[in-house]
Structure 1
Amino acid sequence: MLLQQLQHTFKQVDQSRVFQSFVIAVIVISALTVGAHTYSLNPAIEFILEWLDKGITFFFLVELIIRYIATNNFKHFFKQGWNIFDTIIVLGSLYPAAGSTIFIARLLRIFRVLRLVSMIPELRLLVNALIKAIPQMGYIALLMFVIFYIYAAVGSMLFANINPELWQDVSISMLTLFRVATFEDWTDIMYETMKVYKLSWIYYLTFIFLTAFIFLNMMVGTILEVMSQEHSNMKAQTEPPKPEPATQQQVEQLQKQLTDIQQSLAQLSYAKKNKADELS
């Protein structure tokens, strides 16, 4: 009985908007303290930041315990990936920051900023969409790799004598093509090869058209499609289901049922009237 009351109380606290806003504020403060440690500060300020960091770590541990107890089914708590993520982040921040381990401890504490993702539903939606889009994006990336490899092999055979630093072999040529795909001074590379091969501009333009205009837009479209599905699923979970409009067949069935009920009531009323006449 006491455990149920405690679960109910902690559940109200965990679902409170004030508590959620306070947790987000603490996460932001935690990020600021981690950034402050990268500056040369006064020893007194460093001391305050160390104690503030310990207080933030303790708060995250208490907040995680509250969420754990507020869960009606303890096993269900660890079935949710975001709860496992938060648990790893919080336990990682408990790593002692002393001596030679201070760098590792601060490095682990940096990842507490990622808790913003688990606290804000919109950020969770973005991350979930990105993770679910990875398999589809993988096939697009594989096709891009094939295109890169073909163009790199051709570029190495044609332009290796012009500039070996950019076209010496396939691996270096692929790195050069990545520079071309990101538009990083790619015209300088093109004009250099055009001095020897005047039609080499066709090589660059077709490559840019395939990679920058087609494949990258395909990746963006894939992510947007998955995000739309995730948004629809999230909306369906938060909003109550709307009643479906009745079909013509359902309307006819209801009318038939009403007609049968009216006939039954009429027969019952007629039978009662006859019985009353007989008694009189």
Structure 2
Amino acid sequence: MTPEQPHNFAGETAGAAAPNDAPRARVGRFVHSEGFRNAILAVIVVNAILLGINTDHGFHDRYGRLMAQFDLAVTAIFVCEISMKLYADRLKFFRDGWNVFDFLIVFASVLTIGSTGVAVLRVFRVLRVVRVLRVFRLFSVVKELRRVVEAFLNAIPGMSAIIAVLLLMFYVSAVITTDLFGREQPELFGSIGASFFTLFQVMTGDGWSEIVRLLDGNFPWAWLFFVPFITLTSFAVLNMFIAVIVDSLQREQVRAIETASADLRAGMTEVRETLEGEIGDVSADVQEIEDAEVIAARERAEIMASIAALREELREMRAGMAKRE
């Protein structure tokens, strides 16, 4: 399950019009919530730790029955988790690779229940250990871990070329050592396969000096072959792996910085457009207020003129009445 699924599910369920989808939407929000996901991850981690502890024979002999009950409880929790996800997501559940993986592991765990006397079904107990791999979901949550994994995956094409060069060097060296040292040291160089294994041991630096000393009796010049071999494989080719991974990690960091910068620029542009829109609205409001004040002043002037005219008429009427008297 990807981190975006809870939001997608919420968006899908929010627009549901059917009343019968209300319980399904509530279940979906629950199983895709952060708290529920963290609780399932905690169960997975605890189960993984106990699986490792249970490999101790003394611990298994003492707490085997309790561990079997705990395993049954964990399986029940996983079954409830998968059932709620199937109820909430329906067929969309199988569109996600993690969901399919979880379903297969839980299905294998269910098959192991009550299979004590069935030797064939005991094979499925091994599949439960694979569920420990769900801890790798932390890669999708922690950005730094995800960045490292993406950098490693991006480095695979470059690493494949280095591996091809390394295999070619090993093959040529294996043929040479088998022809030169195979008769005197058949256990180390008696065949291509044995030479491959011995050369790999030499490349790792594990007892390569002892191997050379074994050949000193008949081949005192053997070091002339092994020293360049170690220099090329251990110090040159293997360091290329590190260089490719570091370069990929740097590119991933640059890409992350560029993405963050693009997001920041987009946010600044959005803020600027919003401010410009608000400033335009304020300017329009100010203009409306000024226009209203002009109209009010004009109306006030007209009213004052009307009042002045009424006063003049009233004064004339009073003057006329005074003359009549």
TM-score, scaled relative to structure 1: 0.70
Residue of structure 2 in register with 1:192 after alignment: 214
Q: CA–CA distance in 1 between the matches of 2:20 and 2:237?
A: 59
1:20 maps onto 2:37 in alignment: yes
Give the alignment of 1:152-231 within 5 angstroms.
152-227=174-249
Q: CA–CA distance in 2 between the matches of 1:15 and 1:240?
A: 29
For residue 109 of structure 2, the aligned residue among 72, 84, 93 is 93
**Which blocks of at least 5 consecutive residues in structure 1 are unaligned?**
247-253, 259-264, 270-280
Offset at 1:81?
2.9
Offset at 1:60?
1.5
1:58 maps onto 2:76 in alignment: yes
Q: Deviations over 1:10-57 (max 9, x none)?
A: 33552324x333222211221244332652458784333222111101
Q: CA–CA distance in 2 between the matches of 1:92 and 1:124?
A: 30
Q: CA–CA distance in 1 between the matches of 2:256 and 2:94?
A: 20
Residue of structure 1 in register with 2:96 after alignment: 80
Larger Rg: 2
Q: How many residues align?
A: 255
Q: CA–CA distance in 2 between the matches of 1:172 and 1:184?
A: 15
Give the alignment of 1:93-112 within 5 angstroms.
93-96=109-112, 97-98=115-116, 99-101=118-120, 103-112=122-131
**Which blocks of at least 5 consecutive residues in structure 2 are unaligned?**
1-18, 269-275, 281-286, 292-325
Residue of structure 1 in register with 2:166 after alignment: 144
Residue of structure 2 in register with 1:34 after alignment: 51
RMSD: 4.2
| Structure 1 pair 86–237 and aligned structure 2 pair: CA distance change class (3 A) | farther
Q: CA–CA distance in 2 between the matches of 1:44 and 1:108?
A: 24
Q: Is the CA contact 1:190–1:201 (under 8 Å) kept in the aligned structure 2?
A: yes
Residue of structure 1 in register with 2:303 after alignment: none
| Structure 1 pair 240–56 and aligned structure 2 pair: CA distance change class (3 A) | farther
TM-score, scaled relative to structure 2: 0.62
Q: Between 154-163 and 132-141, report the one with greater CA deviation.
A: 132-141
- Partner SS, residue 95 of structure 1: helix
Q: CA–CA distance in 1 between the matches of 2:136 and 2:29?
A: 21
Residue of structure 1 in register with 2:321 after alignment: none
Q: Is the CA contact 1:14–1:66 (under 8 Å) kept in the aligned structure 2?
A: no
